[in-house]
Amino acid sequence: MNRFFFPKNKIEKLSEIDLRQLSDYQEILHAFARTTYTSVYVIDYEKQAFEYMSENPLFLCGHSAEEVKEMGYAFYFKYVTEEDMDLLARINRIGFDFFEGIPIDERTRYTISYDFHMKSDNRKKILVHHKLTPVFLTGSGKLWKAICVVSLSTERGSGNIKITKQGDKEIFLFDLMEDRWKNVETINLSDREREILQLSIRGFTINEIAEETFVSPETIKFHRKKLFNKLKVTNISEAIFHAVNNRLL
């Protein structure tokens, strides 16, 4: 547990001003969870526990939401693969180090995302994409509550640690080999690539996309190939997941 909760972020006491932030926010969470296929949960860093867990089944590994909430971080130790537990602890450390360097008034605008393996209820490994963003801070700027969103990953393996800032195109990518952050630009899709993705989400085939956009199927295939290379994926399903997860549409 000490690898996931750090002394610098320890919350000794919450003020009345801190507590006023909580008005009705769980009702918003319930509403959000009902409208998405992803799993949603909230970490309370003061209590070092899960405060909220949605009923979406991806992240539950056969348990009910209430059971996972009660398990708290013991759930991670049971269902995250051994090789990725150390990775998660490292991600927490480098994430908090990054967070410490951000001005307090900007901290809720940042989101960290990464991928790790879990053992599903039938013991098969699945690679999940995890996003964490602050919801509430204390008056001194410590992270109090964070919302986490879990979906299936489109990557080939664990890691892929990124931090993004709301309204900013710059992405911070952590290089695990060099143990440092690197700045990279967001991927920019062309109008045609975005159009192909949007129509593919609606279930259009290559020929149907060609007919809809008044070009040949060969042209659509050409643009799809460029899109796959740009996103580093191998098929349209992966391209859609990647574009949605990385807010490219």
- Which tokens in the block code for residue 115? 């991928």
- Which tokens in the block code for residue 71? 């398990």
Distance (Å, whole) CA 227 – CA 155: 16
Q: What is the DSSP string of 108-121?
A: GGEEEEEEEEEE-T
**Cβ–Cβ contacts within 10 Å for residue 132, how many?**
21
Q: What is the pLDDT of residue 206?
A: 94
Q: What is the pLDDT of residue 3?
A: 67
Q: What is the pLDDT of residue 56?
A: 85
pTM over 0.85: no
- Taking the alpha carbons at both ends of the chain, their separation in whole angstroms is 37
SS3 content of the chain, % helix, strand, coil (to 5): 40, 25, 30
**What's the topology of domain 7-185?**
Beta-Lactamase (3.30.450)
Q: What is the pLDDT of residue 122?
A: 66
Q: What is the pLDDT of residue 215?
A: 93
- Domain edges within the chain: 7-185, 191-245
Q: What is the pLDDT of residue 173?
A: 93
Distance (Å, whole) CA 213 – CA 91: 43
Classify residue 191 as exposed, middle or buried by CB count within 10 Å of its CB (0-12, 13-18, 19+). exposed
pLDDT in tens, the chain (249 residues): 666 776 777 877 888 887 787 777 878 888 888 887 789 999 999 999 999 999 888 888 889 999 999 999 899 999 999 889 999 999 999 999 999 999 999 999 999 999 999 987 667 889 999 999 999 999 899 999 999 999 888 788 999 999 988 877 778 999 999 999 998 877 889 999 999 999 999 999 999 999 999 999 999 999 999 999 988 888 898 888 778 777 787
Q: What is the pLDDT of residue 42?
A: 94
**What's the topology of domain 191-245?**
Arc Repressor Mutant, subunit A (1.10.10)
Q: What angle do CA 37, 126, 117 make, to 5 degrees?
A: 110
